[in-house]
């Protein structure tokens, strides 16, 4: 049986599945539109290489399994516990982003993007990563080795975000452990069960943040959803088209 979720989160011992040959990457992609200070529309998906494996309904924090093997490796109770962790993490994320935006007098609406995960190169090492951007511009990255956030530019927004995130040392410690330990366990587990799918798909490794997380996000009311780019949100121009497949009639809103 797989280890209980609290072992994944708090670091008690277990045996990892064997590491796969070649570099393989597990990454979680998050896009969030903040139309105002009281709401956020969020999309979350997980990819093993270029293969979409999981998505999250951010209104209920329910995990959707996009591959026939994607639920294997954890028990139903562990997946439920993980949904609770996701809910809490998203709530913290929304509160932190709004705090930074208000401190910097950043106008609404705006779009934030995040890419976090881990990779296993063929030499047996591992690397965790977390990159965050706003309206298509890099803001901060997490230095997994040191356990601190680093500003990606000398912009006031990036410096303020770095300082705000580094203020919560316990959160940084939990994130460091997740990227070093839990993510590697999950990566090996998904590769173990999804080996055949990966072989058919081909493993492409870790992409750059801006290449994998373009700003558009599906949102709106009723059955139809409006898709606009970050620039169009800022300028209020007409609706635009997107190619990322993010507008699928799913309500990703989380108020």
Domain presence at residue 19: no
pTM, to two decimals = 0.73
Contact 165, 152 (CB under 8 A): no
Q: Which residue has the higher pLDDT, 253 or 146?
A: 146
Domain presence at residue 230: yes
Contact 46, 28 (CB under 8 A): yes
For the chain, where are the alpha helices, taking DSSP H only? Answer: 5-10, 76-103, 156-167, 169-177, 183-193, 195-201, 209-212, 230-235
Domain presence at residue 140: yes
Average pLDDT (141-166) is 94
- Does the pLDDT value for residue 121 go beyond 90? no
Indicate the SS3 state at residue 30: strand
Strands 51-57 and 137-143: unpaired
Which pLDDT does position 240 carry in this prediction? 29
Average pLDDT (88-101) is 91
pLDDT bracket for residue 21 (50, 70, 90): low
- Does the pLDDT value for residue 243 go beyond 50? no
pLDDT bracket for residue 60 (50, 70, 90): confident
Contact 41, 254 (CB under 8 A): yes
Reading the block at residue 139, the tokens are 């803001």
Q: What percent of the chain clears pLDDT 90, i.e. is strictly above it?
A: 42
pLDDT bracket for residue 107 (50, 70, 90): confident
Domain presence at residue 228: yes
Domain presence at residue 128: yes
Nearest to 232 by CA among 222, 223, 240, 224: 240
Lowest mean pLDDT among 2-6, 48-52, 90-94: 2-6
The CATH number of the domain holding residue 47 is 3.30.500.10
pLDDT in tens, 168-216: 999 899 899 999 988 998 898 998 999 888 888 754 443 333 333 333 3
Domain presence at residue 255: no
Domain presence at residue 65: yes
pLDDT bracket for residue 17 (50, 70, 90): low
Q: Which residue has the higher pLDDT, 14 or 196?
A: 196
pLDDT in tens, 130-148: 999 998 889 999 999 999 9
The distance in angstroms from the start CA to the end CA of the chain is: 37
Average pLDDT (43-52) is 92
- What is the total count of domains within the chain? 1
Which pLDDT does position 193 carry in this prediction? 92
Q: Is the peptide bond before 66 cis (omega within 30 degrees of 0)?
A: no
Range of the domain at 60: 24-238
For 191-219, give one letter per residue: b (16+ CB within 10 A) or e: bbbbeebbeeeebeebbebeebbbbbbbb
* Rounded distance between C-alpha atoms, residue 176 and residue 83, angstroms: 20
């Amino acid at each position: 049986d797989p280890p209980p979720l609290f072992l994944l989160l708090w670091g008690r011992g277990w045996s990892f599945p064997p590491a796969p040959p070649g570099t393989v990457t597990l990454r979680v992609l998050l896009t969030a539109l903040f139309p105002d200070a009281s709401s956020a529309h969020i999309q979350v998906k997980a990819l093993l290489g270029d293969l979409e494996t999981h998505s999250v309904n951010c209104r209920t924090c329910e995990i959707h399994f996009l591959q026939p093997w994607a639920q294997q490796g954890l028990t139903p109770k562990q997946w439920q516990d993980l949904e609770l962790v996701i809910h809490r993490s998203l709530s913290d994320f929304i509160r932190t982003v709004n705090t930074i935006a208000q401190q910097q007098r950043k106008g609404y609406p705006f779009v934030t993007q995040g890419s976090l995960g881990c990779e296993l190169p063929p030499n047996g090492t591992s690397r965790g990563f977390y990159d965050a951007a706003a309206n298509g511009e890099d803001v901060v990255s997490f230095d997994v080795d040191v356990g601190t956030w680093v500003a990606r530019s000398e912009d006031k927004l990036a410096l303020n975000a770095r300082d705000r995130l580094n203020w919560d040392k316990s959160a940084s410690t939990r994130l460091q452990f997740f990227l070093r330990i839990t993510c590697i366990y999950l990566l090996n587990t998904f590769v173990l069960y999804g080996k055949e799918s990966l072989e058919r798909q081909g493993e492409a490794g870790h992409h750059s943040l801006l290449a994998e997380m373009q700003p558009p996000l599906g949102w709106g009311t009723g059955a139809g959803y409006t898709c606009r780019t970050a620039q169009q949100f800022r300028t209020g121009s007409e609706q635009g088209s997107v190619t990322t497949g993010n507008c699928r009639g799913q309500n990703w809103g989380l108020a």
